[in-house]
Structure 1
Amino acid sequence: AQEDAVEILYGLRPHYECHHRVQISDEAIEEAVQLSTRYITDRFLPDKAIDLIDEAASRLRISREGQSDESRELRQSLEAVVAEKEKAVREEAFEKAAYLKEEEDRLPQSLGRLGVCSLESNRQDWPVLTADMIADIVSSWTSIPVRSLTEDDSERLRRLEDELKKRVLGQDEAVTAVAKAIRRGRLGLKDPQRPTGSFIFLGTTGVGKTELAKALAETMFGNENALVRIDMSEYMEKFDVSKLIGAPPGYVGYDEGGQLTEKVRRRPYSVVLFDEIEKAHPDVMNAMLQILEDGRLTDGQGRTVDFKNTILIMTSNIGARLLVGQEGRRIGFKFDHKDEDREEEREAEIYGGKTYAEARDLVMEELHRTFSPEFVNRVDEIIFFRMLDRETMRLIVDIMLNQLSARIADIGLMTQVTDQAKDWLADRGYQPQYGARPLRRLIQTEVEDRFSEALLDHTIAKGDTALVDLDQSGDHLVISRKEMPPEELPFEPAAQDQAEDEEDEEVIKED
């Protein structure tokens, strides 16, 4: 129990304080037990908490003190005695060599006594080991950022929905469903033996399924590197199960571990994304039943890998063909936007004369025909992503252009994009059957490529403000250097002329 581990550490504290010559606070001991219990799942208490205290105290002493002057002098004396002894042996001065050998044996004992803690030691001068230092060590072991370790879970869960909606637009129902399921899992309201959350994301391509997984990894675990991505199209054969969990003993690749189990074993707090699960062999899907039900999986080397702290996301394009015509256009798609304020008409336009609920039911039926009931029933939530409408596409334009502006700022350019240019991009990049991906390609060809040409032609240069606007014909975008009005300049033109005249006068006087 954690309480017993804390008591054991209290009993060991004086020994580690004397050994490392640091003060170990009560908060550091409690933090070591709590963080090791939560984030270091492949070891046991009190061993893992003791190792945390030991390594943190050692790092603190080295960073604060280094090697003392007395210790340095003794080591230098020892090196000198050894060199003198070897010289005496070469000169056959054996009596002198024997004396130096005794001195050589005595000096290490003096070095050892420097690290011995005595009652007379001034403990108040020792540095204090804090809870934050324990979090630093756990972060180095688990690759989880310190901010995520120390941040209050309740605060992170409270703002989870808002943080996800900043990155994933037009999918409020999906974000809300994911946030609710994650809260249930992290607050202990569901079976503790199962993963924190398990989801199936359905919908057409480019609507934000993978983006939501990335946003969830960054929000819950600190950065997108906490996302373990498994492309299920690589597991279409029966024998591909061994790639997932590792080859059994005696087979090639036995020492390498499984592509899934090894990544989760090294990073137990992560989002695991299984992309396009409908392409995997049924035996591969059967291996996932154990993860969904028991939160664990045994790899090829017989080790049990813990999935209880992971968030499992499975994406699928099942049923997408039901929403798209044979020529790649949605059934019943129209470009005239009359009465756009009416939700039902917008849904009918997007889903080929159907409402969102009717389209979702069609896809759900296809899902149940494809996967076995025992697999579907083990998933926490099955979420159908909406196809993107024009209003959402316009918001996505802003996000993509802001990301591009940040990259351009790194090379010393400021960027301004007119509303006409943004509207043109949103209109030309709007292909609901393909989601936001055509828009990204359009920005590459119409904005990024034109920036490259303008830089090479010296139309714009470092320090300029580049203006992205729609040309007069309305067929493409143009990039030009924006002339700064006088009121936006860092100085008045007259003031600049006066300053230059004063500099000239000073030069003349010096001459």
Structure 2
Amino acid sequence: DDQREEMTHAEILSILEGRKASLEEHHGVGLQTDVLERTVTMAARYLPKGALAERALSVLDLASARAKRTTERTLTARTVASVVSELSLVPEDRVLETDQARMLKLEALVAERLVGHEDAVSRISRVLRRNATGMCGNRPIGVFLLLGPTGVGKTETAKAVAECMFHSEHAMTRLDLSEYAEPHAVARLVGAPPGYIGHEAGGQLTSAVRKRPHQVILLDEIEKAHRDVLEAFLAVFDEGIMTDGRGVTVSFENTVIFLTSNLGADAGAQRSEARIGFGQRAESEDTGYASRVLESARAGLPPELWNRFDDVLVFPTLSRTAVTDITRKMVAKLGVRMRARQGIELSITEAAIQHVLDEGGFEPRYGARPVRRTLARLVEAELAE
């Protein structure tokens, strides 16, 4: 029920503890507090629909019944994970994986999806590993500002982190803040107050986080949002909370927040386009570009907002080498789709990949976006004939 305030994990754990004796008696299986805690966490992360207390109790009941059938004397986290896996269709080993184990692999997992931004991936991973230990209190696990031109991987970064940390690139709420340019748009974020039209619907952001507490929040083009809208996020970045239109406090402590901006993206763009684009850029060129973008973005955003970011990262234009790697990944995905749908084996030569780039796939100003369009024109359309 969207109108009901979601309970905290501690409150739900208390409910499970209260039902522990009756469940133990009914199933004849022992229930330990650490397994109850894991049950709440797994239900919150992998079963986003419905009230969390009901989800956790249902999982605990099903897992206890399964443990009884397999003659376990005490319920184990693996048995709980097997139930959650079946309900969520997430592999059991991934459900069972601890945050600490996943964090150690974070850099490598994100790098599998993201090409050409090794330094950014490393910096994001360091912050997330540090904050996931609880050092940031109730704040979000990370708040990052991503700067740079279109098509260089800012959105892909958010998707990669969502997939790595929350096991699906769809574990993400994306808001285009260019649609929040008026002061009254705050009501769309948190929901209208009682007595106003739209009160029953709830806020676009607060409702999404209440339903799925573990997720990535992507706020695009923040420079286009009204200042009142930006100020509504200060409590989120500081204390990990936002109060919705009904006066209910929503926790953001299990979210990772990415904000994107094109401020300063054209700084040095002419210089980038003057180069042919082959090979790697000089490190000094990237450093100079980053400095100009940072200076421009800092001047364009309120200082109280800037000071609350865990890190600010500049994504430079992609080199031809990086776009070549991205094209190979896109071709590999296309091959998987064609094999599954039509039974066709797709192989493409290096010369053909360079041809895709020469025929419109490589435009430094637009990053990797032209690749998809050019592949569709030169490869997919031909195969469809």
The equivalent residue for 1:373 is: 303
Counterparts of residues 166-245 of structure 1 (less than 5 Å):
166-188=112-134, 190-245=135-190
User: Following the alignment from structure 1 to structure 2, what is the Cα–Cα distance between the partners of residues 247 and 143?
Assistant: 36
- 1:284–1:137 CA distance, 2 compared to 1 (3 A): farther
User: Following the alignment from structure 1 to structure 2, what is the Cα–Cα distance between the partners of residues 284 and 383?
Assistant: 22
Shift in Å, 1:151: 0.2
Shift in Å, 1:142: 9.3
Q: Does residue 165 of structure 1 match 2:120? A: no
Q: Is the 8 A contact 1:148 1:220 kept in 2?
A: no
Q: Is the 8 A contact 1:39 1:269 kept in 2?
A: no
**In the alignment, which of 343, 368, 380 is matched to residue 448 of structure 1?**
380
Q: How far does the alpha carbon of each residue in 1:341-378 deviate from its partner, in whole angstroms, 9 at most, with x for none?
A: 7x42xx6xxxxxx7111111111111111111110000
**In the alignment, which of 358, 367, 382 is matched to residue 312 of structure 2?**
382
Shift in Å, 1:134: 3.3
Q: Is the 8 A contact 2:362 2:371 kept in 1?
A: yes
User: Following the alignment from structure 1 to structure 2, what is the Cα–Cα distance between the partners of residues 449 and 377?
Assistant: 49
Which SS does the other structure have where 2:347 is aligned?
A: strand
Which SS does the other structure have where 1:321 is aligned?
A: coil
Q: Does residue 307 of structure 1 match 2:252? A: yes
Which SS does the other structure have where 1:260 is aligned?
A: helix
User: Following the alignment from structure 1 to structure 2, what is the Cα–Cα distance between the partners of residues 149 and 393?
Assistant: 34
Counterparts of residues 78-117 of structure 1 (less than 5 Å):
none
Counterparts of residues 123-142 of structure 1 (less than 5 Å):
129-135=75-81
Which SS does the other structure have where 2:219 is aligned?
A: strand
Q: Does residue 289 of structure 1 match 2:234? A: yes
- 1:427–1:141 CA distance, 2 compared to 1 (3 A): same
Shift in Å, 1:61: 4.4
User: Following the alignment from structure 2 to structure 1, what is the Cα–Cα distance between the partners of residues 139 and 333?
Assistant: 37
User: Following the alignment from structure 1 to structure 2, what is the Cα–Cα distance between the partners of residues 173 and 220?
Assistant: 19
* Amino acid across the alignment from 1:379: F
- 1:250–1:363 CA distance, 2 compared to 1 (3 A): same
Q: Is the 8 A contact 2:147 2:261 kept in 1?
A: yes
User: Following the alignment from structure 2 to structure 1, what is the Cα–Cα distance between the partners of residues 73 and 277?
Assistant: 72
The equivalent residue for 2:364 is: 432
- 1:23–1:207 CA distance, 2 compared to 1 (3 A): same
User: Following the alignment from structure 2 to structure 1, what is the Cα–Cα distance between the partners of residues 15 and 198?
Assistant: 42
* Amino acid across the alignment from 1:134: V
Which SS does the other structure have where 1:224 is aligned?
A: coil
TM-score (norm 1): 0.65
Which SS does the other structure have where 2:232 is aligned?
A: helix
User: Following the alignment from structure 1 to structure 2, what is the Cα–Cα distance between the partners of residues 125 and 141?
Assistant: 22
TM-score (norm 2): 0.85
Q: How far does the alpha carbon of each residue in 1:403-430 deviate from its partner, in whole angstroms, 9 at most, with x for none?
A: 1111111211111112210121233321
The equivalent residue for 1:57 is: 61
RMSD over aligned Cα atoms? 3.4
Q: Is the 8 A contact 1:56 1:129 kept in 2?
A: no
- 1:26–1:363 CA distance, 2 compared to 1 (3 A): same
* Amino acid across the alignment from 1:184: R
Q: Is the 8 A contact 2:85 2:91 kept in 1?
A: yes
User: Following the alignment from structure 1 to structure 2, what is the Cα–Cα distance between the partners of residues 261 and 49?
Assistant: 19
Which SS does the other structure have where 1:271 is aligned?
A: strand
User: Following the alignment from structure 1 to structure 2, what is the Cα–Cα distance between the partners of residues 406 and 283?
Assistant: 46
* Amino acid across the alignment from 2:61: A
Shift in Å, 1:261: 0.4
Counterparts of residues 277-426 of structure 1 (less than 5 Å):
277-325=222-270, 333-335=274-276, 343-344=281-282, 355-410=285-340, 411-426=342-357
Shift in Å, 1:388: 0.7
Q: Does residue 30 of structure 1 match 2:34? A: yes
User: Following the alignment from structure 1 to structure 2, what is the Cα–Cα distance between the partners of residues 38 and 414?
Assistant: 39
User: Following the alignment from structure 1 to structure 2, what is the Cα–Cα distance between the partners of residues 150 and 246?
Assistant: 36
Q: Is the 8 A contact 1:40 1:142 kept in 2?
A: no
Q: Give the structure, 1 or 2, with the largest relative contact order (CA under 8 Å, sep 6 or more).
A: 2
User: Following the alignment from structure 2 to structure 1, what is the Cα–Cα distance between the partners of residues 273 and 146?
Assistant: 25
* Amino acid across the alignment from 2:224: K
User: Following the alignment from structure 1 to structure 2, what is the Cα–Cα distance between the partners of residues 142 and 62?
Assistant: 17
User: Following the alignment from structure 1 to structure 2, what is the Cα–Cα distance between the partners of residues 156 and 373?
Assistant: 34
Shift in Å, 1:336: 8.1
Give the unaligned 5+ runs of structure 1: 42-47, 66-123, 348-353, 454-511
User: Following the alignment from structure 1 to structure 2, what is the Cα–Cα distance between the partners of residues 149 and 197?
Assistant: 22
User: Following the alignment from structure 2 to structure 1, what is the Cα–Cα distance between the partners of residues 265 and 227?
Assistant: 21
* Amino acid across the alignment from 1:131: A
User: Following the alignment from structure 1 to structure 2, what is the Cα–Cα distance between the partners of residues 183 and 239?
Assistant: 37
Identity %: 36
User: Following the alignment from structure 1 to structure 2, what is the Cα–Cα distance between the partners of residues 285 and 126?
Assistant: 52
- 1:311–1:148 CA distance, 2 compared to 1 (3 A): farther
Which SS does the other structure have where 1:415 is aligned?
A: coil
Shift in Å, 1:321: 2.2
Q: Is the 8 A contact 1:390 1:427 kept in 2?
A: no
* Amino acid across the alignment from 2:145: I
